[in-house]
A and B are shown apart, each in its own frame.
Chain A
């Protein structure tokens, strides 16, 4: 059985570089769903036989042991380590067992090949939904978000080595962890609004906690950040030059410690404390970003940006406006509200809310932009999605409200967060 892989290239005319985002569209995956299918909460009506036939040994997640250190390697390099349901299930299982295992003190996570992880395997999700029911999609996200929550409240330190692309779901399995090490070739983005989705995997929690209104900017435009920018805004905790990454890994294994202070000192030993932001870095635009992206509505954000562009139009501001105009209007509106609500919530509430949102998106009752986005960017690759509603002003508040409400479906339930025996105070919030 061979894999049908299509890479879709989404060209973004950013100022400094031509960035390429890879979305993975497997016609058929080698997914191993057996554990999940045996799980009672898997939507039974949607289970198709072909999956059972396609089962293969799990090699999408590799594990390495070195005394008390465990290294988890995302191993789906051809798909830029896009997270399949199989990988998510495996990761959950591994993280659970490591937490209980007193022999495990530290977890290192990295990706095989050129990317850390390019995101959740959304194309597979769309495929599943087209073949079965939106509940298959909901199931995927419930597993993914539960994993995100587990990592956000994890009691043992996780060091993620973020080489290459870190997007969407890839951010979800790393940013919530304690140490996020970036390097020279790291590219981070939450590009969901271009796809008719919204920044999920707990992004409404971590984006909303970036300085000023940088989170709104990153979440709405899908702007790409490099390692230095990630460190500057706090998405990363350390910057380690590419050539030192494997030395760092060895050192962490050798130290064999779970003490955050010791780990931090070790990483500091390899890191560049003050990596230079490139001359045209968007991080130098924080003032404009704050002025515009702090506005109450997407419409006001765009008009504030246009005013700035009238004063002095440069490539960056034109690109920013352009990316907002190209994105799904519905996505923009729900994303902005999600980040704003997330700022006042704990990570658990953020994921619970995002789960409501993602299920509403998957169900496609109010807008089918997600499917249209996938069609235009991943399948037909005409790159001209026809959003519906097509304009921001056609997306009313009451419509946005629907994404934040519990779904009106008798089988549907709110996201069940895994029980935790302890919670750091930053993980809770009352709203």
Chain B
């Protein structure tokens, strides 16, 4: 019995290594020993589960179920460190091995029925559950989450939202069962964010009733297509549609690229994107189409169709609008990216904070015990604001999920703007946090086994895919500009996107701020609204002035990027604060509400300290900025006793954190070599 001897080996190793009590007289008497922070950190006077429920809401049980599945399977590289079990992908494996493991893990989940109903069940709960499943997998390994995301959200989502009944009936079920493995061929070597500029061309052949997809030049090769290099059998191909020589704009088609045995289809060439700085468990590939013929029915025709005779039919006449209607449902990608970036952040922070509560450095006086890292104010300043920010941004991410799954034709614009803003804000926060956590873990942060450092390269792509963050922020500002103008034109108060505060008189900021000012909801809301309002006015003024001087709109938006990006951030920060307040309002008075208020103050204060726009445009005087800076330090010391319960309430199981967050001495003992 393999299993029996394996267990016996494990147990023997365990017994031999564990807490050896044999003492050698030659050893120095005092040795560092690990002491879990739970032993002496003050226990919270609130229920950590209630706090976690504010983050994970009704998905808590499903998330934990996914963790259960992963922890109990040998496919997830279980390893024992310091008497605890951890799971972590083996980043020392080759690219090919990592890809193979990702696919095997997917196969395992499929067998457990995890994918049943993912695409065929309808409604907000079903959609939320899809997010939960993919994001839980992403907590283990970003590649795992992305590989699922490409298949279900991008390929499956394109069929669901861009296709019609004939596509749903044919493709959704086989997608759930992985008989069909999908990929999403949008980006090209020459065009990424600018989808409308892609060069792939599709023409219709009325004599055979087929479309012919072609890659006319090297820059039109499909690039970064997740799943294409090894596994995908089908692709949603984005291409210009040319009917009778007239370009009808970008449309999406289903094309088979491999047969069941994995052989490339005729007239399809596929190459590998190669080794990347991270995410090597995803097989990104490049695709060329050499006049590939597909049936007419493979056009995803929710917005436009081509008749058997070759006539182009669409209810929306303006190609620009058609394109917008077409792309609108694909915001789900940004929703998952935002949510998954919060999971990464939580993982990194929980590990780094736990380490800082067990690692000591330097004594204040000779022969005194060394000081715990997190008892240094400077270390508190590095980590604690990040905790508060992570809570704030996680609330926002939950809000985004909610408005996405409850979307209506009227709310789609809001979902688009909010998802763009939050995707950028949350992923930037995630990368920055991981870097700080890596540094806070010192050398231990460099070991891939401890997650923190490796996560940076695994998640770096978040800042780029589904829209470059800077481009997204500029788009947000453009949308705000349009909203503002439209309201003005209508002569009515502005409504939606949380901009209603613009209808009220401008808030007044006290000229001499005090600590207690800084902690009031009133002040926090006022200054965030003031900043958004002022930046929007400045942006509108600048654009209008330039327009009056005869500059083209396109040109204007390219040269006003500085203020546009400032405005994007101001919009996002105000939105985050609003969702924080909404969450806080659901909590009854008591210790949990108090700690939330403390975190909210930390969040707003740190934004004021870090974002230069407050000083640049004078929302804070230099004197007030000094008060803010002092307050950050005070808030850090107040938040310090909450550090452990706050990161515990993130809800990431120990098994998915870095071993350095636990008994790192035992984990590194000679006996466990």
Contact = CB atoms under 8 A, between A and B. Distances in A.
A246 to B, nearest CB: 22
A284 B250 CA distance: 56
A340 B64 contact: yes
Contact of A344 (B8, B68, B83, B113): B68
6 contacts: A261-B20, A283-B3, A291-B111, A294-B69, A341-B64, A431-B653
B7 A231 contact: yes
B18 A260 contact: yes
Interface string A265-309: 000000001100100000100100011001110001000100000
A232 B112 contact: no
Interface of B, secondary structure class, is: helix
A423 B11 contact: no
Contact of B651 (A232, A424, A426, A431): A431
B46 interface: no
Contacts of B7: 211, 231-234
B41 to A, nearest CB: 11
A422 interface: yes
Interface string B587-598: 000000000000
Contact of B3 (A179, A211, A258, A300): A211
A81 interface: no
A344 B64 contact: yes
A260 B83 contact: no
A311 interface: no
A425 B64 CA distance: 21
Contacts of A337: 61
A277 B64 contact: no
Interface size, B (range):
35 or more
Contacts of A291: 111-112
A213 B16 contact: no
B648 A426 contact: no
Interface string B1-28: 1011101101110011011111000000
Contacts of B376: none
A410 interface: no
Given A273-B8, A430-B648, A213 B1 contact: no
Contact of A274 (B1, B65, B666): B1
A264 B12 contact: yes
A179 B47 CA distance: 35
Contacts of A264: 12, 15-16
A428 B68 contact: no
A420 B27 CA distance: 26
A429 interface: yes
B172 to A, nearest CB: 21
Given A261-B22, A296-B65, 15 more contacts: A211-B3, A234-B10, A259-B21, A261-B16, A264-B16, A274-B4, A274-B5, A294-B69, A300-B113, A424-B19, A424-B83, A425-B84, A428-B38, A431-B52, A431-B651
B647 A295 contact: no
Contacts of B651: 431
Contacts of B666: 425
B11 A430 contact: no
B111 to A, nearest CB: 7
Given A232-B1, A261-B20, A344 B67 contact: yes
A30 interface: no
A102 to B, nearest CB: 13
A423 B38 contact: yes
Contacts of B12: 264
B73 A212 contact: yes
A330 interface: no
Contacts of B38: 423, 428, 430
A283 B39 CA distance: 38
A294 to B, nearest CB: 5
User: Top 10 nearest A-B pairs by Cβ distance?
Assistant: A430-B648, A425-B663, A344-B653, A426-B83, A264-B15, A232-B4, A428-B38, A425-B662, A428-B36, A429-B654
A277 B4 contact: yes
A71 interface: no
B3 A425 contact: no
A333 interface: no
Contacts of B112: 291, 294-295
Interface string A212-232: 110000000000000000011
Contacts of A179: 15
Contacts of B48: 430
B82 interface: yes
A18 to B, nearest CB: 26
Contact of A423 (B36, B84, B85, B655): B36
Contact of B4 (A213, A231, A422, A426): A231
A33 interface: no
A49 B601 CA distance: 58
B72 interface: yes
Given A274-B1, A274-B4, A212 B72 contact: yes
A340 B72 CA distance: 11
A237 interface: yes
A209 B666 CA distance: 20
Contacts of B655: 344
A277 B67 contact: no
